[in-house]
Amino acid sequence: MPNLTKRYPIKARDYLKAGEVSIQIQGLLKIIGFAPDFIRRVSLCAYEAEMNVVMHGGDGELTLEVDTDRVDLDVRDAGPGIEDIGLALQEGYSTASEEAREMGFGAGMGLPNIQKNSDSLDIISEKGKGTEVKIGFIA
Amino acid sequence: MKLTEVKDILKAEITSGADKLEMVIQSGAGGDLMSDILRGSKEGVLVLSGLNNIQLIRTAVIAGASALVLVRGKKPDEEMKAQAHEHGLPLLTTPFTLFTACGRLFRAGLRGVDPKKNI
Ligand SMILES: Nc1ncnc2c1ncn2[C@@H]1O[C@H](COP(=O)(O)OP(=O)(O)OP(=O)(O)O)[C@@H](O)[C@H]1O
Ligand SMILES: [Mg+2]
């Protein structure tokens, strides 16, 4: 299977479209023919990361890289950044807005879910300088 | 348990995906927080929720849910139905609360996806 790289823009606070990128990725991985459980892990992490850009970040981009034996996601946004990454990774920690909470977000479980379902997670962020979340999966 | 049994037990109305009533449901998960639903689910799970918005449909699709039950009589809007249809996700509406709906299904033998069996 050939190497494939795809880029998807994500708009901050666009709750109507939020999640569409991850659903597209789920569909693409199905067509490529990865195992259902692997697809589930990747799309779940993509969704949590995409929602974080929509809820907390600024306009951004998700880059999907597909290889024979692995998939990598790079989700970056030009938002406010994360001041304390260790705290953000804790289960239950959330700064979600009232708007996001009303829709059912803000459990503070997104980053922990990513950690649990991926093979590697790297968060690069600085207050005021945006956020980059790199997530790796071994098929 | 078949989806048609779920429908009977929950006295539910099916608003999308009526052609899938013979599908077999292996487990259930319920919640009103998206990330909790994602954490407590696995491929083929039946998702029950008190939420009622387009994000819930996307969350269920991402979770690999077999079907989605809206509790307390919540009816999906046209866009939710369209999205659910596109992804082959049956939608049901039950008059029961989340607690009661889950309880009825559990009593009938459906179990959650807890990591440890028999707890
Ligand atoms: N892209 C981002 N930009 C800025 N802050 C972020 C970003 N992603 C996460 N955060 C911060 O990390 C916190 C924890 O994120 P996490 O995804 O675990 O929970 P949540 O998004 O608040 O709720 P949930 O994901 O359960 O709906 C967020 O509340 C937010 O403060
Ligand atoms: Mg989140």
pLDDT band, very low/low/confident/very high, at B109 (cuts 50, 70, 90) = very high
Strands B67-70 and B91-93: parallel
Q: Please tell me if the CB atom of residue A107 comes closer than 6 angstroms to any atom of ligand 1.
A: yes
Judge whether residue A12 has pLDDT over 90. Answer: yes
List, for residues A36-95, the tens digit of each pLDDT value: 999 999 999 999 999 999 999 999 999 999 999 999 999 999 999 999 999 999 999 999
Q: What is the span of the domain harbouring residue A102?
A: 4-138
Ligand (nearest to CA of A130): 1
Whether A79 is in the pocket of ligand 1, judged by its Cβ within 6 Å, is yes
CB contact under 8 A, A105 and B35: yes
User: Residues A1-13: what's their mean pLDDT?
Assistant: 91
What pLDDT band is residue B20 in, cutting at 50, 70 and 90?
A: very high
Q: What is the pLDDT of residues A20-49, one digit of tens each?
A: 999 999 999 999 999 999 999 999 999 999
Position B102 pLDDT exceeds 60: yes
Per-residue confidence band for B116, with pLDDT thresholds at 50, 70 and 90:
low
The DSSP annotation for chain A comes to: ---EEEEEEE-TT-TTTTTHHHHHHHHHHHHHT--HHHHHHHHHHHHHHHHHHHHHS-SEEEEEEE-SSEEEEEEEE-SS--S-HHHHTSTT-----HHHHHTT--SS-HHHHHHHH-SEEEEEE-TTS-EEEEEEEE-
pLDDT (mean) for B25-34: 96
The pTM score is 0.96
Q: Do A109 and B87 touch (CB under 8 A)?
A: no
Number of structural domains found in chain A? 1
B48-89 per-position pLDDT tens digit: 999 999 999 999 999 999 999 999 999 999 999 999 999 999
Domains with residue ranges and CATH for chain B: 3-107 (3.40.1390.20)
- Quick one: what percent of chain A has pLDDT higher than 90? 98
pLDDT value, residue B114: 79
Residue B40: pLDDT band by 50, 70, 90 thresholds?
confident
The DSSP element (H or E) to which B101 belongs, if any, is helix B98-107
pLDDT at B115: 67
Residue nearest to atom 8 of ligand 1 (CA): A52
Domain harbouring A8, CATH code: 3.30.565.10
Summary mean pLDDT of chain A: 96
CB distance from A103 to chain B under 8 Å?
yes
